[in-house]
Amino acid sequence: MKHIAFLSFGKDSIAQLIKIKELGLPLDEVVYVDIRYTPEISGEHPIMAA
């Protein structure tokens, strides 16, 4: 089984990655997830999406 963390690289997903490493849990891959409201509009706050 492959262990994958999906991250938006916001504060919560970074905290998730840190906790995975602190606990010594297996992690094979980190995948960036682009949060979208629609295909044209980001789901991120405009300041963060810039």
The predicted structure's pLDDT at residue 37 = 80
Sequence-distant (≥ 6) Cβ neighbours of residue 24 within 8 angstroms: none
The predicted structure's pLDDT at residue 48 = 62
The predicted structure's pLDDT at residue 33 = 85
**Alpha-carbon gap, residue 42 to 50, rounded angstroms:** 10
The predicted structure's pLDDT at residue 50 = 56
State pTM to two decimals: 0.66
- Residue-number span of the structural domain to which 10 is assigned: 4-49
Q: Which two tokens stand for residue 7?
A: 């991250």
The predicted structure's pLDDT at residue 46 = 66
Overall domain count for the chain: 1
The predicted structure's pLDDT at residue 49 = 58
Q: Is 28 in contact with 4 (CB distance < 8 Å)?
A: yes
Tens of pLDDT, residues 7-49: 988 889 999 999 999 999 999 999 988 878 888 877 776 666 5
